[in-house]
Structure 1
Amino acid sequence: MKFTKMHGIGNDYVYVNCFEETVKDPAAVAKFVSDRHFGIGSDGLILIRPSEIADCEMDMYNLDGSQGAMCGNGIRCVAKYVYDHGIVDKTSLSIATRSGIKYVDLAIRDGKASMVKVNMGSPILTAKEIPVVAETEQVIDAPITVAGKEYHMTAVSMGNPHAIIYVDDVDSLDLEKIGPSFENHVCFPDRVNTEFVQVIDRHTVKMRVWERGSGETLACGTGACAVTVASILNDKVDGSNPVTVQLLGGDLNISWERDENLVYMTGPATTVFDGEIDLGFLGE
């Protein structure tokens, strides 16, 4: 199987061009290639497929083999891949995902896509649609007890569920310990991505993320979007200007256009290397 290793500010995936390749068991392949000791090493697998309703389709799998709905960093890399490889010859394109069609604009440098702006769609704030078990229609600054400690949570879906928790210092958190407790909490029937956020100023926040099915990652695009929405709702930032979200892998610029209720994410996409791997033992 031929593949390309790519990352969006450190959120890395193995990408396969399914215009040319066939992957029979993507869940098993995802688990194998994601292993950082015996595989290629990544946060998961993303298949770039033909689509009848968009320029291409993004089909993503987490490192544990579970299928994901949407990945903001991943979709930027998909857009870069199809442009750089001549699959699409335009700078505004559509990409089908399990959470709907997303629209992308590319900035080109030296003939290659560099920065990518993604229309991430409208945030979902209704509890049952996120989904999160709650007594109120929306979950904004609501108490939640996890592993015997009370936190305050804001719940947002950007095609996948997010729980945003504000803390004084994100660097001191033991995410390996508390992350799984949030991910598998009874309040989240589909599990949840959890963002721990430190407010820097009215235009800047810093976050770490524990992603369902992948653990802590260097970046999460949908998480950065959810954090921006939550920070505006909680009056932590000035929502009239783009918010800089600082992640372990780099920065993303996020804006929530309230008049049209759309979230836009701008950030880089980077190709690391191309390769080929033998998956014969998996029956591929």
Structure 2
Amino acid sequence: MHFSKMHGAGNDFVVLDLRDGRAPPTPAECARIADRHFGVGCDQLLTIEPAPGADAVASYRIWNADGSVAGQCGNGARCVAAWLVRAGAAPAQDAFVITSPAGRHPVRRNARGDFVIDMGAPRFFPADVPLRGFAQTQDAYPLQIAGRTLVVGAVSLGNPHALLEVEAVDGADVAGIGAALQQHPAFPQSVNVGFAQVLAPDRLRLRVYERGAGETLACGSGACAAVALLDRRGRVRAAAGVTVALPGGELHIQQDADDHLWMAGPAAFVFEGDIP
């Protein structure tokens, strides 16, 4: 099986072309491919599959490094778009549409040539995240972790996100708190956990501990979640655009008049190979 190794701001992927109708790898096979010592190595595995309708050029699905299924992947969406353009399946400059388990995603190019993806509108209602124990939407939710109270924001971007605002991301206990929140009963489907440091209304730093992958160098949906939640608190201005600096690079997030979040950033090819 031929694959492409790609990354978006350091968030790396193994991309498989399954547009011929072949079945995707099993969860165990996905985990073996993702293993950085015994496989190819990646944060997530992406399968490119036939489009569900005439208005899209293709669809894609996502598996985390542990073989679990993911509902959305923003950096992966840009890599899928770049892969489709290189394959001649999507126009190089004109807009087109791809679909994910989270829905329909229009794609365009900006002046720098980066792919810009419509990540949809954030959903804040607790049942949509999903988040248990709260009936109404709040800017932040108190949760008990190991005898202390953590105040987190929560939102869905097609996958669940929790966000903690911190004074400095460099000193944040990303792995400890991230793993604890992922196991918290308030998040029945687990959760991607972001740690945000606001630098200015148009700039923030972010680290993300992802479901099924641990801390990654970048998380596109996590960047969108952070901007959406911090905009609700008046900490950033999503409509004006926010640059999110992650360990692997920068993403630019901007919210349109319909509340959809558009994400721009890099998508790079690393190497090609074949899996026996």
Kindly provide the CA deviation profile for residues 215-240 of structure 1, in whole angstroms up to 9, marking residues without a partner as x: 11111101100100111111111334
The reply on whether 1:7 has 2:34 as its aligned counterpart is no
Provide the rounded CA distance (Å) in 2 between the counterparts of 1:25 and 1:221. 24
- The answer as to whether partners of 1:183 and 1:193 remain within 8 angstroms in 2 is yes
Q: Which deviates more from structure 2 when the two are superposed, residues 129-138 or residues 43-52?
A: 129-138
TM-score by structure 1 length? 0.92
Partners of 2:25 and 2:237 in 1: CA distance: 45
Could you tell me how far 1:108 is from its partner in structure 2? Answer: 8.7
2:85 maps to 1:87? no
Unaligned stretches of 5+ residues in structure 1: 279-284
1:173 aligns with 2:172: yes
Provide, for residues 222-270 of structure 1, a one-character-per-residue CA deviation record: whole Å limited to 9, x for no partner: 110010011111111133410011111111110122x311111111100
Alignment of 1:13-162 (within 5 A): 13-20=13-20, 22-53=22-53, 54-89=56-91, 91-107=94-110, 114-162=113-161
Q: Which ranges of 4 or more aligned residues in structure 1 deviate by more than 6 Å?
A: none
* TM-aligned CA distance change 1:94 to 1:239, over 3 Å: closer
CA displacement, residues 147-190 of structure 1 (integer Å, 9 cap, x when unaligned): 22222111111110100110111111232222210111110011
Aligned to 1:264: 262
> Could you tell me whether the CA contact under 8 Å between 1:2 and 1:21 is conserved in 2?
no
CA distance in 2, matches of 1:197, 1:232: 12
**TM-score under structure 2 length normalisation:** 0.94
3-state secondary structure, aligned to 1:122: coil
Matched pairs, number: 273
Residue 247 of structure 2 aligns with an amino acid whose one-letter code is L
Sequence identity percentage? 37
Deviates more, 1:19-28 or 1:230-239: 19-28
- Check 1:250–1:276 CA distance in 2 against 1; reply closer, same or farther (3 A cut): same
Output one character per residue of 1:45-72: Cα deviation in whole Å (capped at 9) or x when no partner: 1000111322101111001111111100
Query: Does structure 2 retain, via aligned residues, the 8 Å contact 1:245–1:251?
Result: yes
Offset, 1:202: 1.6
Structure 1 residue 189 and structure 2 residue 192: aligned?
no
Query: Contact (CA 8 Å) 1:141, 1:234: kept in 2 or not?
Result: no
| Greater mean deviation of Cα atoms: 225-234 or 259-268 | 259-268
Structure 1: distance between partners of 2:24 and 2:49: 13
Work out the CA distance in 2 between the residues paired with 1:44 and 1:229: 24
CA RMSD of aligned residues (A): 1.6
Q: Once the two structures are superposed, what CA deviation does each residue of 1:96-126 show, in whole Å capped at 9, x if it has no partner?
A: 11111111113598xxxx5110111111011
Gaps of 5+ in 2: none
8 A Cα contact 2:18 2:24, kept in partner: no
Q: Which residue of structure 2 aligns with residue 281 of structure 1?
A: none
Q: Flag the 1:256–1:271 CA change in 2: closer, same or farther, 3 A.
A: same
